[in-house]
Each structure stands twice: as structure tokens, then as C-alpha cells.
Amino acid sequence: MKIGILGGGKVGGTLGLSWTLKGHEVVFGVRNPGSDEMTALIADSQGRARAGSAAEAAAFGEVVVNALPWRAAKETLSALNLAGKVLLDCTNPILPGLTGLEVGTTTSGGEQVAQWAKGARVAKVFNTTGFENMANPVYSGAPVTMFYCSDDAEAKKVAATLAADTGFAPVDAGPLSNSRLLEPYALLWIWLSAKGGLGRDFALTTSRR
């Protein structure tokens, strides 16, 4: 699969590297493609990744991943032609200081992303845990849950496939409007990690009888 990743930070970089190791091809869309961080990441990708602009990543990807900081997402997505493409949204509209969410209850970051990225087939996924768990999502020998939601069947299929390729157990969480549930869920993980004393080496998951 050809994947364009908008952003090459901890989330985008970790996901991209994981996917290259599964045989996918990746272009990272970043402000500084020649940075030391990107050079090191590309070197680890077994020749399956390169870095370019956001427009290059969007044009390359059969699937595009929004791993941008929330504050940068609107400007970048609005400027790109993503019509018809599956867009996986990993962002959370978290306020500074972890004081809450910028939007919620009656809309969500995922739904706003769908408005900014005109014509894209948006799925919310990879937003509910930290990048360390994206690098290794296995606890006690079992993969932890990765929820995804979308109004588009193909976007759901892609989200589930790439979640499984990363090592997660994908779980369909319904329509894109359920981003209103997944984003507060993400804030809970972040709060427990940063302020609740659990650190970053833990995961929230599902279990069934």
C-alpha cells in the first residue's frame, strides 16, 4: 500500500516505520524533509520511505494519514487535494494544559477534519493511545484494542488493516460522529499518563468473556 503521512513526529514517524517494516511504501509530508530526525527515520525504513512536502505525500498516498498537530491541521488539510482518498485522522483537539477538548459533544475533531479535507473518506483511528504503544501494542502476550470509526466502508477497511499491521486488535466503533467518544477516551489516556501517575507504559483495551 502507498501511504502518505502528514507529519513526521512521534505518532507519524512511529506508524510510518511500522508500516514500512510490513512492506508498505511511505512518503512523509514534513516542513523540513532534510532534518536529522527524518534522515534517521528514512534510514531505518529499509528503503521504503522518503520525505517531501505535504502536497507530495498527499499526491503519493493511496491512503493519507493526518498525524499533524491539531493547530496545524486545518490550514494544511484545506490546502490539499484529498478528494476520493481515504484519510486516517490521528489527531485530538486537546486544549493547552490538558484542560479539555476544543470541540466535543455536538461535533468532534474527526468531523471537522472531514469538513476541511473536502471529498476525503475520513476514518478516525490511532488517536486513543501514545506512540510507544504504536511501536509495541502487545501486553501480556495479546494485542491491545485500536478503535476506529467512519461513515465510509472502504475507509473502515483500510483503518482496520493498517491497525492490524501495526499490531493492534482493531475494533469498529461505528460512524465518524463517534469521534465524539474516541477523542475524550484519548484525553483520558493522556491525563492518566501525564497527571494520573501511570506514565506512558500502559494501555486501555477491551476484554470479553
Write phi, then psi, for 123 (nearest 5 degrees).
Answer: -125, 140
How many residues would you count in the chain?
A: 209
Question: In the structure, what pLDDT confidence band is assigned to residue 100 with cuts at 50, 70 and 90?
Answer: confident
User: Which three cell numbers mark 70?
Assistant: 491539531
Residue with cell 466535543: 104
Helices 153-166/10-20 angle, 10° precision: 80
Q: What pLDDT does 99 receive?
A: 81
Question: In the structure, what pLDDT confidence band is assigned to residue 72 with cuts at 50, 70 and 90?
Answer: very high
The amino acid at 150: S
Q: Which fold has domain 2-194?
A: Rossmann fold (3.40.50)
Considering only residues 101 and 169, tell me which one the structure prediction assigns the higher pLDDT: 169
**pLDDT per position as a tens digit, 25-60:** 999 999 999 999 999 999 999 899 999 999 999 999
Average pLDDT over residues 124-144: 97
Residues 166, 148: Cα–Cα separation, whole Å: 14
Which one, of 148, 189, 183, 177, lies nearest residue 63 by Cα?
A: 148
Phi-psi region of 96 (alpha: psi -120 to 50; beta: other; left: phi over 0): beta
Q: What does the mean pLDDT of the chain come to?
A: 96
Question: Alpha-carbon Rg of the chain, whole angstroms?
Answer: 16
Residue with cell 484525553: 187
**pLDDT per position as a tens digit, 173-208:** 999 999 999 999 999 999 999 999 999 999 999 998
Residues 53, 33: Cα–Cα separation, whole Å: 7
The domain limits of the chain are 2-194
